[in-house]
Each structure stands twice: as C-alpha cells, then as structure tokens.
C-alpha cells in the first residue's frame, strides 16, 4: 500500500519559532571574554611564581578546564610541586622557561616563546626562569575547573639530565649519522 505524502507538510507538535528563550539563555551563558587586566590572583600558590586565574568554575562555570597566567621573575624558580590528577599545558608567551621534573627533579628541558609544555598528572616539577633579565610569562591550562597545587619538599639533584624532544621529526643533535 503506497504511503501517504500528506504527513510531510503537517506539524504534529507545536513549535515556538521565537528565539527569545535561547537569546536570553545564551546572553549570559554563552561566550565570555575575560579581560587580561581582570584576572583573579586568589589561586593556590607555589613559592616563586605569580599565578592568576582567567577561566575556572567560580568565574565562568567551567566544568572541565582551568586557564590562567603564570609570571616568574628573572632568575627565579618555583618550589617543587605537582597538580594531582590534573593534566597541565603551559604555553610560553615571553621569556625562557626551564622545566625540571622527576622524583629528584633529575630531568630538564627548555622552552621559549611559542612553545607548548605538557605536564602529566602527579609529575613532580619545577618551573625556572632561565633568563637573568627577562620576565617569564606563560599561559596555563589545566584539565579541571578547580585549581590543584600540591607543594613538595624535594631535595633536587645537583645537575639534572637534559631531555631533548626527539621524535621522527626532531633528531638528536648529538646523533651524527
């Protein structure tokens, strides 16, 4: 038996074609711009660094992300710490960052403007401003809307082992083959 084509034109349910409800909802719960001069300094701190929150649960209702800035004075370094179960991404805006990590901060790597740094959960680490005269400015993003910083009492090794980023695209400079 052939299907009737009349159903394609009838509305079986009431439609409200006004978008006023969405407009009202999204006006306040849509895109948010947080001016750089209005960041919140009330975040868990680690000695040697100035953290400020831009995006978190308290400010914008973020459930799964935290974002903010980190500034480290020339020649300064943070205390050893980790961020619990959170993943962290650090983007270097200005200056020269030296990261140390490991149970005795025995590994090290450096990053400059435009570089991204990934810190997995529970990894003990320390951020160092490797420049004697330029402030280190970074943007920081973490995988939860709440900030977590667990400061650690670690006796660092004297000379950390440099870890180069080597993958199929980046060759070890010492490899002359």
- Using one digit for the tens of pLDDT, what is the confidence trace for 15-55? 555 666 777 778 877 888 889 889 988 887 777 778 899 99
CATH number listed for the domain at residues 49-162 = 2.60.120.10
Q: What is the structure's pLDDT at 77?
A: 87
Q: What is the structure's pLDDT at 65?
A: 93
Q: What is the structure's pLDDT at 50?
A: 86
Which residues in the chain land under pLDDT 50? Answer: none
Q: What is the structure's pLDDT at 123?
A: 95
Write out the chain in H/E/C secondary structure.
Answer: CCCCCHHHCCCCCCCCCCCHHHHHHHHHHCCCCCCHHHCECCCCCCCCCEEEEEECHHHHCCCCCEEEEEEECCCCECCCEECCCCCEEEEEEECCEEEEECCCCCEEEEECCCCEEEECCCCCEEEEECCCCCCEEEEEEECCCCCCCEECCCCCCCCCEECCCCCCCCCCCCCCC
């Amino acid at each position: 038996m052939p299907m009737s084509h009349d159903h394609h034109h009838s509305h079986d349910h009431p439609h409200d074609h006004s978008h006023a409800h969405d407009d009202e909802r999204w006006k306040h719960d849509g895109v948010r711009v947080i001016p750089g001069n209005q960041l919140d300094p009330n975040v868990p701190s680690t000695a040697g660094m100035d953290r400020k929150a831009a995006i978190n649960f308290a400010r914008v209702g973020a459930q799964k992300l935290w974002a903010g800035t980190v500034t480290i004075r020339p020649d300064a370094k943070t205390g050893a710490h980790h961020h619990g179960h959170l993943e962290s991404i650090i983007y270097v805006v200005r200056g020269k960052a030296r990261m140390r990590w490991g149970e005795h901060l025995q590994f090290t790597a450096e990053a400059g403007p435009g570089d991204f740094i990934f810190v997995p959960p529970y990894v003990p680490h320390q951020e160092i401003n490797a420049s004697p005269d330029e402030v280190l400015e970074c943007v920081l993003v973490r995988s939860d809307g709440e900030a977590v910083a667990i400061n650690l009492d670690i006796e660092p090794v004297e000379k950390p082992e440099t870890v180069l980023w080597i993958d199929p695209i980046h060759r070890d400079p010492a490899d002359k083959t």
